[in-house]
Every structure is written in C-alpha cells, then in structure tokens.
Amino acid sequence: MPLKQWVNFLQIEETTSSRGRTLSEYIRSFRRIVAGAFRIDDPKKYDYRGGGRSAWLDRIDSIPLEKVTPQVVQSWKLDFLSRAGQNPAKQRTARISVNSALRAARNLFSPVRLKFVTLPTGFSSPFTDISLEPRQAMSYRSFFDIKKLIEDAQTDLSESDRESFKVFLLASMVGLRRAEIDRLEWTAFDWQLDKLHIGVTEHFAVKSQGSIGVLTWIQN
C-alpha cells in the first residue's frame, strides 16, 4: 500500500474524530519522519507556488507503507538525535522535537483507528515499542527585550501596517495563538468590561477545553 493511500485521508478521514487541524499535524509529523528516514529532501520543498512542494510530497507518499517499520522509525530517531552533537542545548531541542513528532505521528496508527481500516497482511503500527525521550523541562525564559520590541512595533507597524500591529498586540499583550488571532471575531471583545472571550465559534475550535476562557486587559 503506497503511503499516499494511508495519508491522504482515503482511510484516515473515515476513522478519525480528530479535528481537521489536529489531523493535519499528525500527518505532517508522519511525513517528516518518513522523509528523514528515507533521506527524501529537496531544496524546492518550500516552493508552494511552483509545484516544488507537491513534488516533494509525492516522493514521500510513494513510499510503501510496509517499508515504514519500527526499525526504520527507531533509526530515524537515533539519527535525528545524533545530529545535535555534544551541545547540551541542541540535544535538549532535539529531544523535544523527536518527542513532538513521535507523539503526533503515532496517533495515525492508534489501536482504535487500525480496527476499522484495510491494511497489508501482518501490518502493525510502525511506532510499536518506540520509546519517547525523557521529558524535558518546558519552563520558559525570555531572551528578548519586550519593551524594545513594543517600541519598534509602534514605530514600524502602528501607522504603516495596522493589521500586523493588531496581530502583534494580540500575541504579545494577550498571549493568543496564531489560529486564535486569525479566527477571532468582533463579538469576542467586550469593550465595556475590557474583556476578551476565547471559545468555540462557527469558524474556530479551541486547541483544548483549557483554552476556553476570558482575558482581561487594563486601561491606562
């Protein structure tokens, strides 16, 4: 079975309750692993308009699913980690990236999903027995001057590019994610109480139930 038959929703879409964006993240991570494992690289893979990206994806999707084995995934993982060298900071980043890719990609082959699809005889998840790296501390430490950044944004964006300035304010001052900003509706703003409501709308599904809430800003 070509990878494309599995990845391009021909079977996955009918067996998943995942939101579209979440499913796309799973597929993107799986393709990333396959591309790395089979050394499929192309400088034109970022060429969306000229067809370079489509050609790159076609090369990935042509790999037979049967060839993506746990051994292949494990080799990809070890190779990815080894490229961090002896630099502790790069090692930490590599472990986080590996864990993120493995967690997402393996969801395409969950036991529940595999019950309802037609797969090659004897096929099992390529993520069987693939262990994650030890969880890395995710506490954030800022390395930039937010005051200087705000001053630059006021100078460079507030007049010439007001839409980008709005995005900057929502991201830096309110802490919204890109998808939340892109799909934010005017009804989310309560100008009387200086509050911003984040929740499910016709055009937006929150990343998790914990994302639903009310944010308050302070007027000077």
pLDDT 10s digits, 84-137: 999 998 999 999 999 999 999 998 888 877 777 666 677 788 998 999 999 877
pLDDT digits (tens, 9 = 90+) for 35-74: 999 999 888 888 888 889 999 988 998 888 888 999 999 9
What percent of the chain has a predicted confidence (pLDDT) above 70?
Answer: 83
Which stretch, 29-33, 74-78, 118-122, 194-198, has highest mean pLDDT? 74-78
Other C-beta atoms within 10 Å of 146: how many? Answer: 10
Are 155 and 196 in contact by the 8 Å Cβ rule? The answer is no
Q: Tell which residue, 51, 52, 139, has the closest CA to residue 92.
A: 139
Model confidence at 76, pLDDT cuts 50, 70, 90, reads very high
Q: In angstroms, how far is the first alpha carbon of the chain from the final one? A: 62
Which stretch, 27-31, 70-74, 170-174, has highest mean pLDDT? 70-74
Residue spans per domain, the chain: 3-114, 146-216
Amino acid identity, position 18: S
> Beta partners for 2?
64
> Among the listed ranges 10-24, 69-83, 189-203, which one has the minimum average pLDDT value?
10-24
DSSP secondary-structure letter at 97?
A: H
Residue 84: CA atoms inside 13 Å, Cβ hemisphere, count?
17
Are 11 and 5 in contact by the 8 Å Cβ rule? The answer is yes
Report whether pLDDT(163) > 80.
Answer: yes
User: What is the reported pTM?
Assistant: 0.65
Residue 69 confidence (pLDDT): 93
